Structure 1
Amino acid sequence: MTVTLADVAARAQVSPATVSRVLNGNYPVAASTRERVLKAVDELDYVLNGPASALAAATSDLVGILVNDIADPFFGIMASAIQSEIGGPGGRAGGERLAVVCNTGGSPERELTYLTLLQRQRAAAVVLTGGAVEDAPHAEAVAVKLRKLADAGTRVVLCGRPQVPGTQAVTLAFDNRGGAQRLTDHLLTLGHRRLGYIAGPEERTTTRHRLEGHRAALAAAGVADDPAWTVHGRYDRQSGYDATLELLRRDPTLTAVVAANDSVALGACAALRESGLSIPRDVSVAGFDDLPFSVDAVPALTTVRLPLAEAGARAGRIAMGREERPPGGIAAVRGELVVRGSTGVPKG
């Protein structure tokens, strides 16, 4: 049975005219109404049924790049590298493609909405960057979206994001566990045994994988993991600052702080200095990602370097069909330990 625009309107409890406005984007519609209409479109599979199916089988010159926060250098670097590979040989209209960066703000709902919109626009490719939300219903909803995109001829690449089983998406997966384990091993080798850890949001895969690597290093060295030594927060400087003050309140004898990423590590450094502590003489600090500012921090930040630009560029080439899929559709992207001045042997 063919799904009609009227069916979508009935499901969304709006008029057919409102559905048309949302899908055509030619008239302002309240955000809540737009979300409701797009949800109905997705649930009824309106894009891929009836007369729309013939159009959905052909792709446009549009490429969607989904990021959690474009203001975060982690995502900005990857998005820029992906975009640099869009166009060139093999593209339509002289090789040019239109890259659209979709900033989800970390919202699972916005992520699904953007995937629906890109499906509606018959995107040539979609690249999803960064960690995924660890929620079973959301993960299944994303998997359904990715299958629909692939069925419509859209190439899908996951860059720095875990594999989505049951889909044709190519996965370039960052080795967050391994990088985190090597980072904590470095501190343990220096002699640290009381390490505070500032983790990212609990619902993110990146957070879990990096924390698992940290704990694996502690376990291998026979060091107890005191629950009071771990604080969760956002992946930003303010969270690093606040979490470090909380860690010091819980245990003033900590000799090292391991941060979820470099931005968090900068906040940790600020909190330690304001608390009258010297880095690394009193407390060592380590980050993750090796963002551009890390080498210019004072002292320069020990971290794990992820090849963000290289991974983004590769994702762009695969999305454009200019590089072969890796064997099995998945490739691990290894991080490199970079030792700088922010870590040293503990006092005493």
Structure 2
Amino acid sequence: MATTLADVARRAGVSPATVSRVLNGNYPVARATAERVHRAVAELDYVVNGHARALAASSSDLIGVLVHDVADPFFGVIASGIQDAMAEGDVLAVVCNTGSSAERELRYLRLLRRQRARAVVLTGGSVNGPGHRDALVDQIAEFTATGSRVVLCGRPPLTGHDGGPLPGVVAVDFDNREGSRGLTAHLVSLGHRSIGYLTGPEHRTTSRLRLDGHLRALADAGLPAGDCPVASSDFDRESGRAGVAELLRRAPGLTAVVAGNDNAALGALAELRSRGLDVPGDVSVAGFDDLPFSLDAVPALTTVRIPLADAGRTSGMLAVGSREDPPGGVLTVRTELVVRDSTGPVPG
């Protein structure tokens, strides 16, 4: 027969209410008493009924982490950082793979709310479009109304329908626009004037912000955007290959390619090699994110570094309340240009 709370109370010589107070940590109890309770719990191998605790309280010990693609190193590094921040706490982090589906993201939010999750961390760019945005705001408002928290990691801050801040929501936002602007400016400084760009999925805020930074750098340099073609990718290797083929078809004299992320940049490198083009001798290539494989690419990839693991840890701490909220509810994570061997001067 399973050990009950009453069994623990008898072993510790206290009332069941005192045991509940010690285990929930929501009421001051003398240290000696608390030690007796914890000792009794260990001796009897008592396991707290998490579902009952959630019903008695407003939330459980569950933290939801929503990612677009659990197999993508970008999200893997962030999720690992989030779990690192929770390793010392008495919480369970559950990673939910949305497959970049806006509908699945909303469904997971509903399920986590039904499970009385203490918090949820939404990672990666959000879907552009008023329909999904309005539905997301509604879901988050219902989630936080119960006292739960929402952390946006790697996506822009989210406001309510009235344009004001959403209570219980904080954002760890990546400076995608300025990072991309600095990367393209680096290529311009090397003499490149025909720079192709591989953007990500059109409906993602990350794609829009990084493309915007690229276009701003072209404007800063007085380069007509029409001379620098843009092709779509899905932020993965295969679409990166296809995107570079499209760029070369439209601009055979291309001297540089900027990819919206490192995965697409790997595809670009592969396609250029298959065509007998040297990187960076014939075409320079750059990515974004500085994922672990970027240093080992051939040649080593010039990219924009986001401290993903640190951003994940910060998001995890905000989710469990072990770190104070940033001013205004928004913490902007700065990016860093990392110059490696895949970029060089315009071919002589």
Structure 2 length-normalised TM: 0.81
Task: Tell me if the contact between 2:174 and 2:333 (Cα under 8 Å) persists in the aligned partners.
Answer: yes
CA contact (8 A) 2:195 2:228 kept: no
> What is the deviation of 1:85?
1.2
Q: Is the 8 A contact 2:75 2:124 kept in 1?
A: yes
What corresponds to 2:114 in structure 1? 120
Residues 1:136 and 2:130 aligned together: yes
Aligned-CA RMSD value: 1.3
Percent of pairs with identical residues: 59
> Structure 2 counterpart of 1:117, which letter?
L
Q: Deviations over 1:118-157 (max 9, x none)?
A: 0000001100000000010110111111111111111110
Residue 271 of structure 1 is matched in structure 2 by 271
Alignment CA distance shift 1:224-1:57 (3 Å): farther
Query: Could you report, residue by residue, the CA deviation over 1:54-85 in whole angstroms, capped at 9, with x for unpaired residues?
Result: 94961001100000001000001001110111
Shift of 1:226: 1.6
1:339–1:56 CA distance, 2 compared to 1 (3 A):
farther
State the Cα distance separating 1:260 from its structure 2 match: 0.8
Q: Contact between 1:56 and 1:152, CA under 8 Å: does it hold in 2?
A: no
Equivalent residue number for residue 37 of structure 1: none
Contact 2:102/2:132 (CA < 8 Å) preserved in 1?
Answer: yes
Structure 2: how far apart are the matches of 1:136 and 1:72?
27
8 Å contact from structure 2 (residues 59, 117) kept in 1: yes
Quick one: structure 1 residues 145 and 227, their matched pair in 2 at CA, closer, same or farther if it must change by over 3 Å? farther
What is the rounded CA distance, in whole Å, between the counterparts of 2:251 and 2:131 in structure 1? 38
Question: Which residue in the other structure is 2:210 paired with?
Answer: 210
1:268-347 to 2 correspondences below 5 Å: 268-347=268-347
Offset, 1:161: 0.8
Q: Which residue of 1 aligns with 2:32?
A: none
CA contact (8 A) 2:255 2:346 kept: yes
1:170-209 residue pairs with structure 2 within 5 A?
170-209=170-209
Q: What are the Cα deviations for residues 254-307 of structure 1, in whole angstroms up to 9, with x where unaligned? A: 000000100100000010011110000100000000000000111100000000
Counterpart in the other structure of 1:158:
152
> For the Cα contact (< 8 Å) 2:194–2:228, is it kept in 1?
no
> Is residue 56–residue 122 contact of structure 1 (8 Å, CA) maintained in 2?
no
Give SS of 2:95's match: strand
Q: Secondary structure at the match of 1:226?
A: helix
C-alpha offsets along residues 138-189 of structure 1, whole Å, 9 cap, x if unaligned? 1011111111111111111000011110212100110000000000000000
Partner of 1:110: 104
Q: Aligned-pair distance for 1:314?
A: 0.3
1:98, CA displacement in angstroms? 1.1
In structure 2, how many angstroms separate the alpha carbons of the residues matched to 1:160 and 1:250?
32
- Tell me the TM-score normalized by structure 1: 0.81
2:242 corresponds to = 242
Give the drift of 1:228. Answer: 6.8
Structure 2: stretches of 5+ with no match in the other structure? 1-53, 161-165
**1:110 to partner: Cα distance:** 0.2
Does the residue aligned with 2:193 lie in a helix, a strand or coil?
coil
CA contact (8 A) 1:279 1:342 kept: yes
Number of aligned residues: 289
5+ residue gaps, structure 1: 1-53, 89-94
| 2:61 paired residue number | 61
Which amino acid is 2:262 matched to? D
Q: 2 CA distance for matches of 1:87 and 1:186? A: 40
Q: Is the 8 A contact 1:57 1:152 kept in 2?
A: no
Amino acid at match of 1:127: V
Q: Distance in 2 between matches of 1:227 and 1:123?
A: 50
Matched residues in 2 for 1:237 and 1:83: separation?
Answer: 27
Letter in 2 for 1:158: L
Question: Match of 2:91?
Answer: 97
Q: Report runs of 4+ in structure 1 exceeding 6 Å deviation.
A: none
